[in-house]
């Protein structure tokens, strides 16, 4: 069943790991969250590895790539790949692990991803993307969605974008998350490809006008909630990446404003940190370190009086090998004492 998530947090490697997603859930219960991109071939290798790895080890390796806490849902698994069979296999895994959606990455311009012939370079071969989506849609009941660019290199006309979307829609893609920038595959690195090619929100709006029956979500350069609200007058969804990671509390009104489901209690820096305590307890008691959780918290105290010494103290305490959830308790209390 397709759901219309009107606000989502974009997949971001090294950012939207399970800890950041639990953090984001302290701020919005209703937005759609995405994993970092997981390469379908990597999942295949782990699943096939019948030799050296015992069943338990294989499960542990899958857990590292696919594991999540129930609170993270609704959650989409983003996949990278260009092989319909491997993507179908990965989609079945996603369904088994309890994800709500699978998303195909057709937007990443990194050299490594290009060498694998997936990511943004797949925009040049819409039929191949259609075959992938078709195989994914047939593999499980999960909705299959696609995240893509408005074009690549010199294939950047609006007609080419329409051809891409029409071809892929015909194979069962249920939503298009459109990063409103083209990607230059040769010459720009991924970071430059998120800043240098100009933003063309107008093309995404045009796409929705021309294909009103398709679910179209805008991504790229959305910085503020009021901008998102405006875009939602014309589009089905908005997807926010860097501004969600670097300014998480900026989105504290999302549930009230976009999902008409405001939080019962005010969302503050201290409530976000305290909300992570049960997660940290579970994580650390199963052998995990606190640091991968705490590292995301630097942005939660943006604009808070005394943020710098708070960050320094948290970093020191959380880096200790035996640091546990009590470090977050203390950090939350310090923020409460300052009224944050
Ligand atoms: C650090 C970082 C990692 C990213 N990793 C992914 C990824 O794994 N998959 C993907 O589709 N896009 C990835 N992106 C792109 C974002 O999902 C998003 O499309 C882009 O940042 C534009 O949105 P924004 O302007 O709201 O940040 C990444 C972006 C950043 C900044």
Euclidean distance between CA atoms 219 and 221, whole angstroms: 7
Query: From atom 10 of ligand 1, which residue's Cα is the shortest distance away?
Result: 11
Q: Give the catalytic positions in this structure.
A: 108
7-258 and 269-337 share one fold: no
Specify the pTM: 0.97
Instruction: Report pLDDT for 214.
Output: 98
Ligand 1 pocket test target in 178, 241, 250 with most atoms within 8 Å of CB: 241
3-state secondary structure of 172: coil
Residue 107 Cα: closest atom of ligand 1: 11
Share of the chain above pLDDT 90, in %: 91
**Token digits of residue 263:** 């939080």
- CATH classification of 7-258 is 3.20.20.70, yes or no? yes
Average pLDDT over residues 247-254: 98
Instruction: Report pLDDT for 49.
Output: 77
pLDDT digits (tens, 9 = 90+) for 159-194: 999 999 999 999 999 999 999 999 999 889 999 999
One-character DSSP codes across 35-96: PPPEEHHHHHHHHH--SSS-HHHHHHHHHHHH---GGG-SEEEEEE-S-HHHHHHHHHHHHH
3-state secondary structure of 199: coil
- CATH classification of 269-337 is 3.30.70, yes or no? no
Average pLDDT over residues 53-77: 92
Euclidean distance between CA atoms 124 and 127, whole angstroms: 9
Ligand 1 pocket test target in 7, 8, 13 with most atoms within 8 Å of CB: 13
Pocket of ligand 1 (CB under 6 A): 10-15, 36-37, 78, 105, 107-108, 147, 179, 194, 219-222, 240-243
The torsion of the CA quartet 163, 164, 165, 171, rounded to 10 degrees, works out to 110
pLDDT at 2 > cutoff 80: no
Calculate how far, in angstroms, residue 245's C-alpha sits from the geometric centre of ligand 1. Answer: 10
Domain parsing of the chain, residue ranges: 7-258, 269-337
* Cα 262–chain centre separation: 22
């Amino acid at each position: 069943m397709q759901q219309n998530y009107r606000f989502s947090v974009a997949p971001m490697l090294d950012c939207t790991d399970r800890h950041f997603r639990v953090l984001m859930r302290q701020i919005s219960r209703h937005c759609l969250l995405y994993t970092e991109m997981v390469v379908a071939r990597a999942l295949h290798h782990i699943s096939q590895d019948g030799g050296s790895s015992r069943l338990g080890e294989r499960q542990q390796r899958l857990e590292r790539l696919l594991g999540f806490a129930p609170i993270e849902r609704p959650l989409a698994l983003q996949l990278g790949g260009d092989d319909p069979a491997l993507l179908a296999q990965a989609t079945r895994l996603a369904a088994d692990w309890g994800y709500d959606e699978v998303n195909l990455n057709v937007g990443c311009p990194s050299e490594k991803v290009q060498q694998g012939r997936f990511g943004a370079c797949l925009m040049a071969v819409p039929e191949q993307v259609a075959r992938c989506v078709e195989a994914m849609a047939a593999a499980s009941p999960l909705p299959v969605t696609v995240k893509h660019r408005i074009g690549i290199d010199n294939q950047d006309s609006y007609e080419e974008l329409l051809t891409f979307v029409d071809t892929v829609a015909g194979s069962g893609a249920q939503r298009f998350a459109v990063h409103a920038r083209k990607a230059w595959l040769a010459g720009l690195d991924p970071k430059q490809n998120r800043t240098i090619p100009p933003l063309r929100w107008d093309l995404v709006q045009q796409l929705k006008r021309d294909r009103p029956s398709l679910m179209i979500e805008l991504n790229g350069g959305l910085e503020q909630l009021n901008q998102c609200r405006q875009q939602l007058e014309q589009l089905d969804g908005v997807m926010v990446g860097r501004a969600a990671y670097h300014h998480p509390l900026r989105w504290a009104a999302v549930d009230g404003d976009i999902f008409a489901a405001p939080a019962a209690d005010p969302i503050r820096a201290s409530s976000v940190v305290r909300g992570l305590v049960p997660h940290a307890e579970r994580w650390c008691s199963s052998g995990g370190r606190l640091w991968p959780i705490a590292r995301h918290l630097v942005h939660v105290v943006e604009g808070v009086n005394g943020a710098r010494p708070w960050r320094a103290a948290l970093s020191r305490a959380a880096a200790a090998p035996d640091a546990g959830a009590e470090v977050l308790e203390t950090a939350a209390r310090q923020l409460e004492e300052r009224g944050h």
